Structure 1
Amino acid sequence: MAAAASPDRAHRLLVVAMDFDFYRQAHSDLTYADIDPAGHYGAAGWREGRDPAPWFSTDAYLEQNPDVAQAGVNPFVHYLRSGYREGRAISRSQFADAYYAALANGDVPITAAERSAAAEHFDARFYQTMNPDLAKVGIDPLDHFLRHGWREGRDPSFEFSVADYLELNPDVSASGVHPFVHYVMTGRHERRPLKLDLTFRQAALGRLQSFEGRLADARRWARPIELTQLGVLAEALANAPARGLHLTFSHDDYSRSVGGSQLCVQREAAEFARLGVNHLHVFPANGWPTVRSGATRTPMGVLLNGETVGSFVPHDITRALKSYHAEGPRSFAIHQMLGHSSRDVVDIVRAAGMNAGYFWLHDMGSLCAGVHLMRNDVESCGAPPPQSAACGVCIYGAARSGQLREHELLFSRLDLTVIAPSQVALDTWREGSDFGAREALVLPHATLVPSDEPPPMRDGPLRIAFPGTPSIHKGWPVFNHLANRFAADPRYEFFHLASKPATGTTARHHHVAVTVDQPLAMRQAMIDLSIDVALVWSLWLETFCFVAYEAAAAGAAVVTSPESGNVAAFAADSGHGLVLRDEQALEALFESGEILQLSRSVRRPGLFDLKFSRLAAELAPA
Structure 2
Amino acid sequence: MNVLFLSSLYAPNIGGGAEIVLQRTVEGLHQRGMNVCVLTTGAEPGLVEDQVKGVKVYRAGLLNTYWHFSDQRPNALARLSWHVRDRYNMGMRAYVRQVMRMENIGLVVCHNLGGWSVAVWDEISKAGVPIVQVLHDMYLLCPGSLMFKKRQCCGGPCTLCSTLRQGHAERSAQVDAVVGVSHFLLDRLQNARFFRNASAHVIYNASPKVEEVQRPHPQGRLADSEPLRFGYLGTLSDHKGVRWMIEQFKRLPFNATLQIAGRGQQDYEREIRQLAEADENIHFVGYQSPESFYRQIDVALVPSLWNEPFGMVAVEACAHSVPVIASHRGGLPEIIREGINGLLCDPDEPESLALAMLRLYRQPELRRQLAAQARASVAPLLDMDRMLDGYQQLFSQVYQNKGTFHESQPASEPL
TM-score by length of 2: 0.69
SS in 2 for 1:382: coil
Aligned residue type for 1:336: N
Shift of 1:580: 2.3
Q: Larger % of strand: which?
A: 2
1:324 alignment partner, SS class: helix
Unaligned 5+ residue runs, structure 1? 1-243, 288-297, 392-396, 514-520
2:350 is matched with which residue: 580, 583, 588? 583
Matched, 1:331 2:331: no
Within a 5 Å distance, the mapping from 1:442-453 to structure 2 comes to 442-446=202-206
> Is it true that 1:378 corresponds to 2:151 in the alignment?
yes
Q: 1:252–1:454: structure 2 CA closer, same or farther, 3 Å change rule?
A: closer
SS of match in other structure, 2:109: strand
Higher relative contact order (CA 8 A, sep 6+): 2
Residue from 260, 280, 287 that aligns with 2:37: 280
Q: CA separation in 1, counterparts of 2:9 and 2:213?
A: 37
- Matches of 2:150 and 2:299 in 1, distance apart? 26
Q: Which residue of 1 aligns with 2:3?
A: 246
2:164 is matched with: 402
Q: Equivalences for 1:89-100 in 2 at 5 Å?
A: none
Q: Structure 2 residue aligned with 1:554, among 320, 345, 369?
A: 320
Partner SS for 2:146:
coil
Please name the residue that 1:538 is paired with: 304
- After superposition, give the CA deviation of every residue in 1:426-460 in whole Å (9 maximum; x if it has no partner): 22222222432321111111389998765532332
Residue 511 of structure 1: CA displacement? 4.8
Structure-2 residue corresponding to 1:85: none
Partner Cα distance (2:140, 2:202) in 1: 17
Q: After the TM superposition, which residues 160-239 of structure 1 pair with which residues of structure 2 at under 5 Å, given as runs? A: none
Asked if the contact 1:251–1:338 (Cα under 8 Å) also holds between the matched residues in 2, the reply is: yes
* Superposed displacement of residue 337, structure 1: 2.0
Alignment of 1:354-433 (within 5 A): 354-374=128-148, 376-383=149-156, 391=158, 397-409=159-171, 411-412=172-173, 414-433=174-193
Taking structure 1 as reference, are residues 617 and 402 closer, same or farther at Cα in structure 2, changes over 3 Å only? same
Partner of 1:496: 260
Pair 1:509 & 2:284 matched? yes
Choose 1 or 2 for highest CA Rg.
Answer: 1
Alignment correspondent of 2:88? none
Cα distance in 2 for partners of 1:430, 1:309 equals: 31
- When the two chains are superposed, the root-mean-square deviation of aligned CA atoms in Å is 3.6
Query: Following the alignment from structure 2 to structure 1, what is the Cα–Cα distance between the partners of residues 248 and 56?
Result: 41
Q: CA offsets, 1:250-275, max 9 Å, x none?
A: 23344222411111221122123213
SS in 2 for 1:359: strand
- Confirm or deny: 8 A CA contact 2:263 2:287 kept in the other structure: yes
How far 1:473 moved relative to its partner? 0.9
Q: Is it true that 1:321 corresponds to 2:99 in the alignment? A: yes
In structure 2, the CA distance between the partners of 1:311 and 1:451, relative to structure 1 (3 Å rule), is closer
Shift of 1:320: 3.0
Partner of 2:196: 436
- Which residue number corresponds to residue 616 of structure 1? 391
Change (3 A) 1:544 1:302: farther
Work out the number of aligned pairs and report it. 337
**Secondary structure at 1:317 match in 2:** helix
Give the residue type in structure 2 aligned to 1:429: L
**Could you say which residue in structure 2 is the equivalent of 1:164?**
none
Report the AA paired with residue 381 of structure 1: C
Q: 1 CA distance for matches of 2:132 and 2:43?
A: 24
Q: Aligned pair in 2 of structure 1 residues 598, 266: CA closer, same or farther (>3 Å)?
A: farther
Summarize the Cα distance change of 1:407–1:599 in structure 2 as closer, same or farther, 3 Å threshold.
farther
Q: CA shift at 1:402, angstroms?
A: 3.0
2:61 equivalent in structure 1: 311
Q: What is the distance in 2 between the residues matched to 1:453 and 1:537? A: 25
Equivalent-residue separation in structure 2 for 1:588 and 1:318 (angstroms): 51
Aligned-pair CA distance for 1:463:
0.8
Higher helix content, 1 or 2: 1
Residue identity over aligned pairs, in percent, reads 20
Determine the structure 2 residue equivalent to 1:295: none
**1:532 CA drift (Å):** 1.8
Distance 1:565 1:477, change over 3 A: same
Residues 493 and 354 of structure 1: is their aligned pair in 2 closer, same or farther, counting only changes over 3 Å? farther
Letter in 1 for 2:153: S
